[in-house]
Amino acid sequence: MEMEARKKEFGEILKAERARRRLSLDEIQAATKIRKKFLKAIEDGNFDLMPTKVAGRGFLRIYAGFLGMDPDGMVAEYNRKTEPERIPVQDEPRLIAAKNPIYRFEPYGKYALLALVALVVTAGIYFVLSTP
């Protein structure tokens, strides 16, 4: 509920600035190409009617800029007030694989290495004995 009140603050600020400049939503729609229903949703603090969260922030940026307000500051303040608090999460202990790949596949790593050495020795003996 508190987040909805924060969203309404932005709408009220924009609505007050629009009224001060004596602009209608139709005039702003024509100038910014933002549909009137989205402008009204921003003023009402109902960002759930936006097609996406990114679009809502974009519309807020354009609307604030059109009214001569700081668009980046307005979006940053909106993000700060509406994003849920992030609670730091402790990392779960992770299993770390051994750096030496031979030991990673215990007990098969040693046997694979032994088989490879035996194969090389056998091939060497065969080569030596088969040459005239």
pLDDT band at 1 (very low <50, low <70, confident <90, very high): very low
**CATH number corresponding to 2-82:** 1.10.260.40
Q: Which element (helix H / strand E) includes 27?
A: helix 25-32
Q: What is the pLDDT of residue 74?
A: 87
Mean pLDDT in residue range 32-40: 92
What's the CA gap between 60 and 64, in Å, rounded?
Answer: 6
- Judged against a pLDDT cut of 50, whether residue 105 lies above it is answered with yes
Give the start-to-end residue ranges of the domains of the chain: 2-82, 101-130
Cα–Cα distances in angstroms (integers) from residue 75 to residues 4, 56, 86, 107, 108, in the given order? 16, 10, 19, 58, 58
Distance of CA 32 to the CA centre of its chain: 27
